[in-house]
Amino acid sequence: MGFNQSILKSIIGKIDHVELFVLKIPLVNPFKTSYGIETFKEVLLIKLTSDGFSGWGECVSFKHNFYHEETIKISQFGTENFIIPLLLKNSDLSIKEILNLLIKIKGYDMAKAMVENALLDMHCRKKGIPLFAFLGGKKRKIMSGISLGITTDIEKLLENISDAVRKKYHRIKIKIKKGWDINVVSSIRERFPSIRLTVDANGDYSENDIDILKELDKFNLDMIEQPYGRDMFKEHSKLRKIVKTPICLDESITDMESVKLAVSLKSCKIVCIKQGRLGGILNAISVIEYCRKNKIDVWSGGMLETGIGRAVNIHLQTLKEFELPGDTSESSRFFDEDIVSEPVTLDSKGFIDIPDGSGTGIEVRAEMIEKFKIFNRTMTK
Ligand code: OSB
Ligand code: MG
């Protein structure tokens, strides 16, 4: 693909300073899914410094393991004990060489993504180019989408949808679970017959629920995201033959092998790309390329990221393969105040601008790090 190989191959120099932070930030509203409720965002961050230039990375792991088994504690363990020591031991390497070394470490994909994001941010800043330019992305703005959690009653969800429609979100996704599905989607369609709508089950259904999933065909949904569990590639494939609504996989897509399996079994039509879970931007790009070649549509998911991870997802979506709106919403949808100085906002047509400074183009606010910090560690050689 079109990313700048010279950036990847040029020496980044010695990493002088590594700082890790864990922040605990309250969410403006609890976010409920079929797997549980989030009321706080706990997040692991890294700041790398070399030669006077710094880069930030955000880890998408959660405190709990209801969505994915790599928790913050696990990401932190991998970062402190394996990834950072390797980074500090080897100086005068290129990003490409560092990433090749990281392949030897098994697991910790979310931690690796965080470190990769920070390296790319730092190096692009040093070279004075924006991340999207490094990626070869051509779009100057991207579409927006919002993921709305389960509420105590349908009326409240309809209100949340009205707000999102007023803001001109290009696509609305609602979380569903058994018992919060047909009734809810049918009320939404009565009130909003033509909005672009998708549902995300986070794996709550099984083959006993085919009738419910089939009934969703009546509502003109763009897709059903992850109806069954993560490893149920064969079952998703059978479901695809029964329901007309396109099937999208999220949790199932953990690496390139999983995408290849999904393609070979025809388990899905659409894949949700989460670079933070695929081990970083470069792995995500390999998956995106493979999907293009195999006629699988892609969109960018979200993991309740702060402005740091949100910016990375925005830069990535400047690639032409992202033709569908993803889960990229305004920062204020989750946080009263973002930890970066340029929170994500929508323009009057619901689009999101690409930050055009060097690297991710956003600045982290030191006072916000102080305010929400619950852990901090500095590592040097
Ligand atoms: O399944 O896409 C998901 C949030 C946390 C964990 C998993 C998911 C989600 C979302 C919200 O749907 C995405 C976002 O807006 O960040
Ligand atoms: Mg999902």
Condensed to tens digits (0 to 9), the pLDDT of residues 272-311 reads 999 999 999 999 999 999 999 999 999 999 999 999 999 9
Whether 352 has a pLDDT exceeding 90, the answer reads: yes
Evaluate if residue 381 carries a pLDDT over 80. no
When mean pLDDT is compared across 5-19, 249-263, 337-351, the lowest value belongs to 5-19
Residue closest to 323 by CA, chosen among 281, 368, 284, 273: 273
Q: What's residue 148's pLDDT? A: 98
* Residue 2 pLDDT exceeds 80: no
In the prediction, which pLDDT does 90 show? 86
Q: Output the six-digit token pair for 251.
A: 């949790």
pTM of the model: 0.97
The percentage of residues in the chain with a pLDDT greater than 70, rounded to a whole number, is 100
**Catalytic option among 173, 175, 214, 234:** 175
Give, for ligand 1, the residue of 40, 228, 254, 304 to mutate: max count of ligand atoms closer than 8 Å to Cβ: 304
Provide the strand spans (E) within 92-227.
Answer: 141-142, 145-148, 171-175, 197-200, 224-225
Q: Is the Cβ atom of 147 under 6 angstroms away from ligand 1?
A: yes
pLDDT for 340: 98
What integer pLDDT is reported at residue 6 of this predicted model? 86
Write down the mean pLDDT value for the chain: 97
| Residue 214 to residue 101: CA distance in whole angstroms | 46
Position 5 scores a pLDDT of 84
For residue 105 the two structure tokens come to 């470490």
Q: Is the CB of 70 under 6 A from ligand 1?
A: no
Digit-coded pLDDT (tens) for 144-195: 999 999 999 999 999 999 999 999 999 999 999 999 999 999 999 999 999 9
Residue 246 has pLDDT above 80, yes or no: yes
- CA–CA distance, 78 with 105 (Å, rounded to integer): 9
How much is the pLDDT for 149?
Answer: 98
Q: Is the pLDDT of residue 1 over 70?
A: no
Output 187 or 91, whichever has higher pLDDT: 187
For residue 248, how far is its CA from the centre of ligand 2 (angstroms)?
9
Mean pLDDT of 50-73: 96
According to DSSP, the β-strands at 270-273 and 247-249 are: parallel
pLDDT greater than 70 at residue 253: yes
138 among known catalytic residues: no
> If phi over 0 gives left and psi between -120 and 50 gives alpha, with beta otherwise, what is residue 351?
beta
Least confident residue range of 88-92, 293-297, 330-334: 88-92
- In the reported structure, the alpha carbon of residue 327 is separated from the centroid of ligand 1 by a whole-number distance in angstroms of 7
Find out whether the beta carbon of 304 lies less than 6 Å from any atom of ligand 1.
yes
